[in-house]
Structure 1
Amino acid sequence: MPTNAPTVADLDEKSLLALIFPRLGPDTALLGPGDDAAVIAAPDSRTVISIDTLVQDADFRLVWPSGYRTTGFDVGWKCIAQNVSDVRAMGAVPTSLVVSLTLPGSTEVQWVEDLADGLAAAIASLASERCSVVGGDLGRGNQIVVTAAVTGDLEGRAPVLRSGARPGDVLAHIGALGLAAGGLAVLESGFDMTDPEKDDDRELAALAMAQCRPQLPPAHSGPAAADAGATAMLDVSDGLVRDAGRIARASGVGIDLDAGYLRAKASPLAPAAARLGADPLTWVLGGGEDHGLLAAFPPEAVLPQGFVRLGEVVAGEAVTFGGAVPPATGWDHFAGQL
């Protein structure tokens, strides 16, 4: 990037906001950006709300060891993906977001404009026509921090909690498994991702994009699972085994994962994993940030389109892998990869 590119230190807050707001797409709120607070419709009378944060050098690097440079678009996209996925996991439809940006003065204005474009593109692709950015906050700090709070509408449904699974339920999943973990391995590797269009690196580049710009299941998936009678559900953000364990603990049950299915799921990732000296099954079982949905359904339920059976709810309190201890667990934000 040119060294003389304008930075946020060259602008005042009003000027920076004037560049951001027009890029965010249509405003769906009753009262959107411009006042001290937004006003959004709540026809259900209940509001689902969640919040998530992306921190530079903890959740993303501006320049990865592979040479890939994280764009503002990447961070904006990922911000929306992780937030709307949490709302869907309750069986709700996302309706609004407020976004807080902490930016060093050296941050290039183009990077911030790209972030706004990423927010808008991800809302259009991953959320719903009811959803928009309705406000937020700007601040100055030593590193980039992007925090978003999202609201959702249950549209008359009961929220799907983590605590309703019962022995005999079918455990099902929709979305990717292991792709974002593979992408993280690529970004942290010595492979040159400065030119991802090279023929022999396209497979690795696709994995890197799954980490930087995760693709979610269809927008209706969470509400469809609720309508089909899901007894428990969550967003898989910290790894299949770890998040299955959260359902198990909350519900007071055990979960046995289908080892044959999950080994088959890992098989297409084997060539890329071999290049990186990694185990693709570890990606599938322990890798997070694909933001698929994991749900338990009564045994007589018809699984919604796209959901695939990958285990069962059993008596007990542990997560097992074909009856054995899983070879990977997942991500803990303080303890790291276990």
Structure 2
Amino acid sequence: MSIAEAGEFGLIGRIVSRLGSGEATLIGPGDDAAVIRASDGRVVASTDVLVEGRHFRRDWCGPEDVGHRAAAANLADIAAMGAVPTALLVALCMPTGLDIGWAEGLADGLSAEAGLVGATVVGGDTSSSPTLTIAVTALGDLRGADPVRRDGAKPGDVLALCGRIGYAAAGLTVLSRGFRTPKLLVEAYRRPVVPYAAGPQAARLGATSMIDVSDGLLQDLGHIATASSVGIDVRRDAFELPGQMRDAASALGVDPYLWLLAGGDDHPLAATFPPGVTLPPEWRVVGSVQDGSTVTVDGKAWTGGTGWDHFR
């Protein structure tokens, strides 16, 4: 059955039937708006959009994969503020000839990724469009903590990273060359593994700044450097190069550090911490904050790419 055959309200009914309910949801789908509990009195909000052909391809990703990717891109932003995600709002713009099973799979992926943090999809909108587009708004709760912003890094702070990096970028290169293996890298592109709990954890540890690495480590660290009026130096030797990534880079003729330093879509969290803070093992120190205004690698300007820019 196509979207056109199901009709707008038939589509909405099928999607809503696949969504769960979370403890923060007071009123879910079905009214003009949802009502979400905000025990902190403050709501953290973020929006991201995925456009077919720009952010994903249906011949590379199944509908559940796209749902996971769309949810993760937003939930990671909430975590990067030190907050706990509570809800997602989703707007779907789809070609009328799209099979309704694809939309159901997308809903399953969105719901499953949100469920990893106890959040739910609580509403949204649908429209016909020649281009498949998914716009997601995520909401979160600070639970009494102060938000961790980008403008608090200070010279002397350490730079640490939590989560995988370079895997999704390597998977994208593999897919773009027409291959489907190594599976580890391809699956990392299809479904990111995001350390959501590390965001509130970093806030409790006293992080001075934090960011979701979505567009490339060096580029996203540049946002912290600019906001905090500091320089940041990254150490190449701080990064482990997995065997499958090393082998793929050799086979494809790619410098693997381009994936590590400039690749996106893994959504690890990068944060700065005051010197002397004892970090849990999942956080690894990869650099330092210093006087200056730029991001360097091993004390030198980086001449390779720094990350993704939608308009370049």
The interval holding the TM-score normalised by the smaller chain is over 0.9
1:299 counterpart (268, 275, 282)? 275
Matched position secondary structure for 1:23: coil
Shift of 1:25: 2.0
1:329 counterpart (292, 306, 312)? 306
User: Residue 245 in 1 paired to residue 222 in 2?
Assistant: yes
Aligned residues: 310
- Structure 1 unpaired stretches of 5+: 1-5, 194-200
Shift of 1:305: 4.2
In structure 1, C-alpha distance between the alignment counterparts of 2:226 and 2:79, rounded to whole Å: 21
Question: Residue in 1 aligned with 2:233?
Answer: 256
Instruction: Map 1:299-318 onto structure 2 (within 5 A).
Output: 299-318=275-294
- TM-score, normalised to structure 1, is 0.89
User: Residue 166 in 1 paired to residue 154 in 2?
Assistant: yes
2:295 counterpart (319, 328, 332)? 319
Instruction: Map 1:67-216 onto structure 2 (within 5 A).
Output: 68=60, 70-125=61-116, 128-129=117-118, 131-191=119-179, 193=180, 201=181, 203=182, 205-216=183-194
Matched position secondary structure for 2:36: coil
- Structure 2 unpaired stretches of 5+: none
Shift of 1:328: 3.2
In structure 1, C-alpha distance between the alignment counterparts of 2:249 and 2:273, rounded to whole Å: 33
2:12 counterpart (12, 17, 22)? 17
| Shift >4 Å, 4+ stretches | none
8 Å CA contact 1:170–1:309 kept in 2: the answer is: yes
Letter in 1 for 2:75: V
Letter in 2 for 1:241: L
Shift of 1:271: 0.2
- TM-score, normalised to structure 2, is 0.96
8 Å CA contact 1:178–1:266 kept in 2: the answer is: no
8 Å CA contact 1:27–1:134 kept in 2: the answer is: no
In structure 1, C-alpha distance between the alignment counterparts of 2:243 and 2:148, rounded to whole Å: 32
In structure 2, C-alpha distance between the alignment counterparts of 1:158 and 1:300, rounded to whole Å: 21
Question: Residue in 2 aligned with 1:286?
Answer: 262
Shift of 1:103: 0.6
8 Å CA contact 1:8–1:16 kept in 2: the answer is: yes
In structure 2, C-alpha distance between the alignment counterparts of 1:10 and 1:328, rounded to whole Å: 46
2:2 counterpart (7, 20, 29)? 7
Instruction: Tell me the alpha carbon deviations over residues 255-303 of structure 1, each in whole angstroms, 9 at most, x when there is no partner.
Output: 01112223x4366511011222211111001001110000000002122
Change beyond 3 A, Cα 1:244–1:267: farther
Question: Residue in 2 aligned with 1:234?
Answer: 211
